[in-house]
Amino acid sequence: MDCEDEKIVNSLLESYQSVGGINHIDCSNLPSKGAVAAISQNLLQLVFPGYHDEEPIASRQLRELTAQRIRVVREQLEAELVKSLSNEEIGGATAGADPGHDLACHLLEALPRVRRLLRTDVEAAYEGDPAARSYDEIILSYPCIEAIAIQRLAHILYLKEVPLIPRMMTEWAHNRTGIDIHPGAAIGSHFFIDHGTGVVIGETCEIGDHVKLYHGVTLGARSFPKDEEGRVVKGIKRHPNVADGVTIYPNATVLGGETTIGAKSTVGANAYLRGSIPDNSLVAIEPIEYKVLDKNRLEPAESVDAN
């Protein structure tokens, strides 16, 4: 079937006029997904030098290479920040003569602090996983390290009320790792997500030190309050708090902004919590009744006439 290009163009143009809310036309430019992905990858090179490179890095190269990478990331980030801020009112946290430059510098100046935290995350993975053979293996292959690193970096911009870019960064990591951590989540030291696939951590989560999660864990919202016009109320505490030393096993769900998992508690696999538990608690699901049968002794199924 031959396409009638003019007919398709006219139809789409009519759609652009009639279907609003998903067009961005005659407006300022938006941050580029490709550029934010490149910034995220370059930031990983800065926080884990030598682990995200094709060639080995020698000590004698380190100063020049680091300076070059800082310049590249600053220029990339400034450009995307200008786009981001041009689409929003700039609040007090980002106000300044050159807010894009100031925010880029703010993030880059925080890199040594972020690296200290990431070292504790790698330690937690090594101590928490008996299959881990080395720090190299963890940094190179564990998806949680990449997801946590990008979230910790995005969180710095989130706290400065930067629109769009923090969420774009964590969604880039989500796409690569299967781990969905909102940039707003506040996460302590020694954080480890074993396996990781399917983990969801909401915007207003507060996670303490030495917390371990397994795959499929959800730290989510219990409900979404609405205003008088039926619209979801934003900016309120919706997600749980997880205190120091907590372990949450696979596919457990913990919901609600008033929910706190007490320190050193353990939440068993498949648990479903909508309320707080005290320190040193163990949440376990009652065993499900099942049968174990010898397949060799099963009666053959009766034949069924399909006609």
Question: 268-291 pLDDT, tens per residue?
Answer: 999 999 999 999 999 999 888 888
Tens-place pLDDT, residues 189-223: 999 999 999 999 999 999 999 999 999 999 999 87
The full DSSP string for 156-202 is: HHHHTT--SHHHHHHHHHHHHHS-EE-TT-EE-SS-EEES-TT-EE-
Domains and CATH numbers, the chain: 28-178 (1.10.3130.10), 198-286 (2.160.10.10)
**Tens-level pLDDT at each residue, the chain (307 residues):** 467 888 889 999 999 989 988 888 877 789 999 999 999 999 999 999 999 988 888 899 999 999 999 999 999 999 999 999 986 644 444 555 789 999 999 999 999 999 999 999 999 999 999 999 999 999 999 999 999 999 999 999 999 999 999 999 999 999 999 999 999 999 999 999 999 999 999 999 999 999 999 999 999 998 777 888 888 888 899 999 999 999 999 999 999 999 999 999 999 999 999 999 999 999 999 888 888 899 888 866 555 555 5
- Do the Cβ atoms of 244 and 188 come closer than 8 Å? yes
Model pLDDT, residue 93 = 47
Residue 214 DSSP one-character state = E
CA atoms within 13 A on the CB side of 239: 21
pTM for the whole structure:
0.89
Q: What is the biggest distance separating any 2 CA atoms in the chain, rounded to whole angstroms?
A: 82
Encoded tokens for 92: 């007090």
Model pLDDT, residue 306 = 53
Model pLDDT, residue 90 = 44
